[in-house]
Structure 1
Amino acid sequence: MGTYDANIAKINIVNYFRKCGLTIDAFANIIGISDRWFKSVSSLKNDYVFDVDTVIKAASFFSVEFRKFTSSTCVPPDNLRELLQKKHAKNLEFSKALNDTPSLPFIIDNILIHDANFLNEPELELKHIKAIIRTYYPKINFSNLSITIQNSGFIKHWPHPTKKNTNLYAKK
């Protein structure tokens, strides 16, 4: 293993965070920083990095060896959320956060793109995507759904040919 690299640690924390399905608020609370600071640091476009104590907490939460987490880029397992739910089942704070409705980016990138109703349609409007997601999470709040979908690396979007201010969506 190599030496401590704060930028690799940052990349790993961001990648694992995206795969665990927690909201920014919940994850920031778990690793002991403000959600605002997490948003600032987690942007891969700037030079901010996490301090060592925060990296230690994140590595521990994700069950990844600290040295590995800080010296090489790690690939989070596809079932990371389920693994974390089992690992932290007895920790009330972590368990609650992991059993709440996952973040919208997680739902889009890990559930929606595998849903048969989504995959069987050549194009869907936002209202149809909402209906699909509500079959999994009936009480979900859809703040910024269209922006979140457009930021997904798995879904393409284009303007509706006849409806103004409406997009169509499909899996890439």
Structure 2
Amino acid sequence: MKAYNAKITTENIKNHFEKSGLTIEVFANILEVSKRWLEYILAGEKNYELAPYTIQKACDFFIADFRKFTTELQTVPEDFREFLKKKHSRNSEYNKILSDAPSVPFIIDEILAKDDEFISSNGLELKFVKQIIWKYYPGLKLTNLSSDLQKSSFIKHRLHPHKKKKTNIYQAKK
């Protein structure tokens, strides 16, 4: 048996978390850890030790083998959130969590960046990006959308060429 590898385990947790569409608060509750501690783990800022219990909770949620999850980098399927919905359909707690709207970073990377209207545009102002997202999730609160768009590796942004204020336009990276 290979030895437990904290770096690989942390990377697997991060990759699976990002593809799950969960918010950090929800995932911290699943793992029974604080939001702040989980943020440190996911950012790799601190060298916190991952307790086997916490890793097992992540493996249970992600339907992953503990031994492989802690020793080998795992490939996360493209439709991972849908996979989790099916696997957890009989677990009322997880089913509800996965039926709620996903996190905004997930929506940006997995839905907006693949939306035909967004892809075919030459760049859209924030208000038009919101309209596209609201097609999928009407009324979703998008208070930090500009910041989340700028953090995404699938979206490029630049200052609007014709606006006087500091208005950005957003476009899918090709």
TM-score, normalization: structure 1? 0.96
Aligned position for 1:116: 116
Aligned position for 2:98: 98
Aligned position for 1:171: 172
Answer whether contact 1:5 1:71 (CA < 8 A) is retained: yes
- Per-residue deviation, 1:2: 2.7
Aligned position for 2:7: 7
What is the aligned-residue RMSD (CA, Å)? 1.1
C-alpha separation in 2, matches of 1:61 and 1:50: 16
Secondary structure of the 1:129 match is: helix
Secondary structure of the 2:124 match is: coil
- Per-residue deviation, 1:44: 2.2
Aligned position for 1:128: 128
C-alpha separation in 2, matches of 1:82 and 1:14: 18
C-alpha separation in 2, matches of 1:114 and 1:125: 17
Gap runs ≥5 in structure 2: none
Are positions 1:40 and 2:40 aligned together?
A: yes
C-alpha separation in 2, matches of 1:69 and 1:75: 10
Aligned position for 2:53: 53
- Per-residue deviation, 1:59: 0.9
C-alpha separation in 1, matches of 2:119 and 2:72: 35
Gap runs ≥5 in structure 1: none
Secondary structure of the 1:111 match is: helix
- Per-residue deviation, 1:165: 1.4
C-alpha separation in 2, matches of 1:35 and 1:144: 18
Aligned position for 1:87: 87
C-alpha separation in 2, matches of 1:42 and 1:49: 12
TM-score, normalization: structure 2? 0.95
Secondary structure of the 2:148 match is: helix
C-alpha separation in 2, matches of 1:26 and 1:45: 21
Mean alpha-carbon deviation: is it higher for 123-132 or for 28-37? Answer: 28-37
Aligned position for 2:23: 23
Cα shift readout 1:117-144 (whole Å, capped 9, x = no counterpart): 1011111111110000000000200021
- Per-residue deviation, 1:56: 0.8
Mean alpha-carbon deviation: is it higher for 156-165 or for 127-136? Answer: 156-165
